[in-house]
Amino acid sequence: MRIAITGATGHIGNTLVKLLYEQEQYQLRACYRDSKKAYIFNKMNIEHYCGDVLDIYYLNKAFQNIDAVIHLAAKISIEGDPDGSVKRTNVEGVINIVNACRTSGVKKLIHISSIHALDYNQKNGFVNESTGLVNKDHNSYDYSKALGEEAVVRAIQEGLDAYIVYPTGVIGPNDYFDSLAGSFLRKLFAGKMFAIINGGFDWVDVRDVCFGIRKILEKEINSDRKPVLRKYILSGQFAEFSKIARLASEISGRNLKPWIINKQFALLFLPFVKLIANLFGVAPLFTKESLETILQTDPHFSSEKAYQELSYVQRSLEISLKDCYEWYTANDKI
């Protein structure tokens, strides 16, 4: 099977490329925007296509003679969408992906959405694939992922064989270019995270997410093109930041005791955090959007469907964090 992976140099992307590369039945085409990052594939015999998902001509070329597309390219933001690039990438880019799949005769599309596209703040505390999408009242990134997903759903209704996947908070090794969660963990392990917010999230290992995606690839292609909406949540386990700090302290052997700041207290100090970040030209310690993602209780992101249909499994948070630390250390990131 010939596979094209957009966002191939990202955290999930490069881990997935490495996983599928070990399987003889797959021929891989890595699609990415920044050629400077492609060195991570230097020892691999794969095809390379450099371009932007906003360029339909590039996508039409990249998807020629491809059986399945795994769409990972997206723009993550915790600082709104001041220049409109989040919406362009996550909505217009997805529309381009869908159209290029049709034009090029791609047989299967696996669209990697985000758990943030789902309205998990609903009061029942249980989130599965039937949970509704967020609306325009949510932050820019979340809403852009929901709109992008709607474009995929429309394409499914028109006969495209496609799947939608919702990872939760992704952590794990192979984080070459500092994802948001990876940057937090790296600073924490190094003893440079002096304060954390009281709350937590659901954390999933990047390798488990890639395993789930591979299992979807193995599913038979819907050759009769009947509209079937297939979604999978790929979650891990909920953990508060204080627990992550404790585990990081045990793993690293450092005495890590960051201050724990109340979420409401942090919201009051947002203007000062922004001011300090602007003065020193650094990323803010937290933003309104990042605080909104922090959960005070576990809403229970259910992966039951993935367990049943994909034989999905999750490794423990302790193993994920230990492997993170070892990878950061081996790659001189701490």
Give exposure, 127-159, as e/b (b: 16+ Cβ within 10 Å).
bebebebbeeebbbbbbbbbbbbebbbebbeee
Residue 66's nearest CA partner among 91, 100, 32 is 100
Encoded tokens for 311: 């034989």
* Model pLDDT, residue 123: 58
Query: How far is CA 256 from its chain centroid?
Result: 27
Which pLDDT does position 327 carry in this prediction? 97
CB distance 63 to 40 below 8 Å:
no
pLDDT computed for residue 144 by the predictor:
97
Structure confidence at residue 299 (pLDDT):
84
3-state secondary structure of 69: strand
- Indicate the CATH number for domain 2-173+203-235+297-315: 3.40.50.720
Residues ≥6 apart with Cβ < 8 Å to 186: 178, 328, 333, 334
Query: What pLDDT was estimated at residue 196?
Result: 87
* Per-residue confidence (pLDDT) for residue 124, from 0 to 100: 67
Using alpha carbons, select from 184, 205, 182 the residue that is nearest to residue 196: 184
CA angle 8, 13, 17 (to 5 degrees): 85
pLDDT of res. 280: 63
Residue 151: partners with Cβ closer than 8 Å, 6 or more residues away: 91, 94, 95, 98
pLDDT along the chain (334 residues), means of 10: 97 98 94 96 95 97 97 91 94 98 96 95 81 93 96 94 97 94 92 87 97 94 74 96 94 87 77 67 72 83 96 96 97 88
Provide the residue ranges of all domains of the chain, joining segments of one domain with +.
Answer: 2-173+203-235+297-315
Residues in the chain, total: 334
SS3 for 93-156 is HHHHHHHHHHHHCCCEEEEECCHHHECCCCCCCCECCCCCECCCCCCHHHHHHHHHHHHHHHHH
Q: Looking at the DSSP assignment, which residues form a beta bridge with residue 165?
A: 112, 232
DSSP 8-state code for residue 22: T
Q: Could you tell me the sign of the dihedral formed by the alpha carbons of 200, 201, 202, 205, in that order?
A: negative
Which amino acid belongs to residue 46?
I
User: pTM here?
Assistant: 0.93
